[in-house]
Amino acid sequence: MENLSTRIRTRFAPSPTGFIHLGNLRSALYPWAFARSKGGDFILRIEDTDQERSSQEAVDVIIEGLHWLGLDIDEGPFYQMQRLERYQATLKILLESGLAYPCYMSEDELNALREKQIANKEKPRYNGTWRPEPGKSLPKIPEGVKPVIRFKNPQEGIVVWKDAVKGVISISNEELDDLVIARPDGTPTYNFCVVVDDLDMQITHVIRGDDHINNTPRQINIIHALGGQVPVYGHLPTVLNEQGEKMSKRNGAMSVRDYQHAGYLPEAILNYLARLGWSHGDAEVFTKEQFVQWFDLDSLGKSPAQFSPEKLIWLNHHYIQHADSEHLAEQTIPFAKKEGIIFLGNQVQAGPEFVKVVDLLKARANTLIEIAQGAKLFYMSAPQHDLQSPEFKTNVSETIIPAIKEFTESLKNTDGTKESIAAAMKEILTKHGIKMPALAMPIRYLMFATTQTPAIDAMISIIGIEEVIKRLSKV
């Protein structure tokens, strides 16, 4: 095995077995940030040896998700299924050096052993029947049985590591039995592949979910057997949902794609995930650059983080509100198209400039979908009102019509800016001794057939005086 370089190298090693929720991507964010903050490398490794459960679709979601969040990778994706020869070669080395051995115990024998141990209130474990020892004679090799390969785990001593998140963790080798590292068909098992990969890829820091803590002592022992250098481990506490359960599809977690389709900004998700188990003073809102600059393993939280959809939506709103309108408009186009607004390239086919509409709507929107829905008003054709209908009469009363007419007239003397329109409105309000809603509500209704719209002066300015005059002149 090669020596580890001093350059920081981290990895994200997902198993592409279906559902990738935000908690999963957090396990990519921290190793990525650590590599970036130290000028190191971030590697993507796809752990696809569970062929039955792995899918290309899940790999695509992972790669797209990383790309969307801007977590750039320096090397990979490496696929474990493409490294089988390498695992075989390493298995051979362990077998030849007596650090691993074939075990011919059948499934039935193993089950019987386990049942006996459970009945005796012992922890179920392999009993070392086929483990070679000096002076020990092994059973006769049964015919026609393909063996598994077991790692010859040390039987004495303890495995200790200083976990970057959890502190010192130690476990006695007596607790660990001889792990199966290759199945009867010769395919290597999970823990073995991880070790070979982490060594080959010269990973210096393994930052991963704490569901892997139990694997770590086994992996460390195999690393020692291979003469490799043990990386620093940091095990991240689980992400819990609002109910305090482990996040999963079953209890309603959304995939990273779902968030994208629901109109979240990647900046908001990144910021949110960063805080889900890491902190920097009381900073809640920060850029990706600040996050990288501030990131350190010392500030990772030790207790489980709890997912809060409200906080995520708050952050999304924050990022939308402060986004550059041009950029935001570009991001909103796919959602606007879904709402039926027609674009030719990046421009709306007809109606006000899309960026102006987005610029107005961003102050109140929580998601890009909300902007797109709000934008529809600006592009729909003028409503056809039945002036005699009770609904119309309720919304546009006889008594307000003179004020509307005067306002329509005065619009001709404005320069079309929001400010001049506001001034014109104010004049009419004063003259008629009425309050803003008394005039704004019927105007909204006349223009859009709804009274729920953003600020009326801004709306009129964006739609354009000519079109507004046309709509208001219906009364």
Which CB atom, from 194 or from 225, has the smaller least distance to ligand GLU? 194
CB of 336: closest distance to ligand GLU in angstroms? 37
Give min distance, CB of 367 to ligand GLU, in A.
Answer: 29
Q: Which one among 20, 43, 180, 194 touches ligand GLU, defined by CB under 6 A?
A: 194
For ligand GLU, the nearest residue by Cβ is 208
CB-nearer residue toward ligand GLU: 194 or 328: 194
**Distance (Å, whole) CA 192 – CA 87:** 8
Nearer to ligand GLU, 14 or 228 (CB): 14
When the beta carbons of 234 and 351 are compared against ligand GLU, the nearer one is 234
- Shortest Cβ 14–ligand GLU spacing (Å): 5
* Signed CA dihedral, 427, 433, 437, 443: sign only: negative
**# chain residues binding ligand GLU, by CB under 6 A:** 7
Q: Which is nearer to ligand GLU, 47 or 178 (CB)?
A: 47
- Residue 9 CA to residue 31 CA, distance in Å, equals 9
In this structure, what token pair is assigned to residue 332? 């909103």
| Least CB distance to ligand GLU at residue 49 (A) | 9
Output 14 or 263, the one with its CB closest to ligand GLU.
14
In the region spanning residues 267 to 296, those forming contacts with ligand GLU, defined by CB under 6 A, are none
CA distances from 232 to 11, 148, 168, 304 (A): 12, 30, 12, 21
Residues 47-86 close enough to bind ligand GLU by CB under 6 A: 47
By C-beta, is 198 or 267 nearer to ligand GLU? 198
Rounded distance between C-alpha atoms, residue 221 and residue 181, angstroms:
12
CB of 188 to ligand GLU, least distance (A): 14
- Sole binder of ligand GLU in the list 125, 131, 212, 246 (CB under 6 A): 212
CB 272 within 8 A of CB 21: no
**What 3 state SS string does 366-413 have?**
CCHHHHHHHHHHHHCCCCCCCCCCHHHHHHCCHHHHHHHHHHHHHHCC
- Find where tokens 């408009």 sit: 329
Smallest distance from the beta carbon of 78 to ligand GLU, in angstroms? 12
Please state the closest distance from residue 223 (CB atom) to ligand GLU, in A: 13
Residue span 11-30 as binding mask against ligand GLU, x where in contact by CB under 6 A, dash where not: --xxx---------------
Of 7-15, 278-286, 346-354, 425-433, the segment contacting ligand GLU by CB under 6 A is: 7-15
Amino acid at 460: I
Distance CA 454, CA 460 (A): 10
Residue 222 as a binder of ligand GLU (CB under 6 A): the answer is: no
208, 235, 317, 471: residue in contact with ligand GLU (rule CB under 6 A): 208
Q: Distance between CA atoms of 38 and 296, rounded to whole angstroms? A: 9
Whether the bond into 77 is cis, omega within 30 of 0: yes
Question: Secondary structure of 305-316 in the HEC alphabet?
Answer: EECCHHHHHHHH
DSSP per residue, 11-45:
EE----SS--BHHHHHHHHHHHHHHHHTT-EEEEE
Residues forming contacts to ligand GLU in the complex (CB under 6 A) are: 13-15, 47, 194, 208, 212
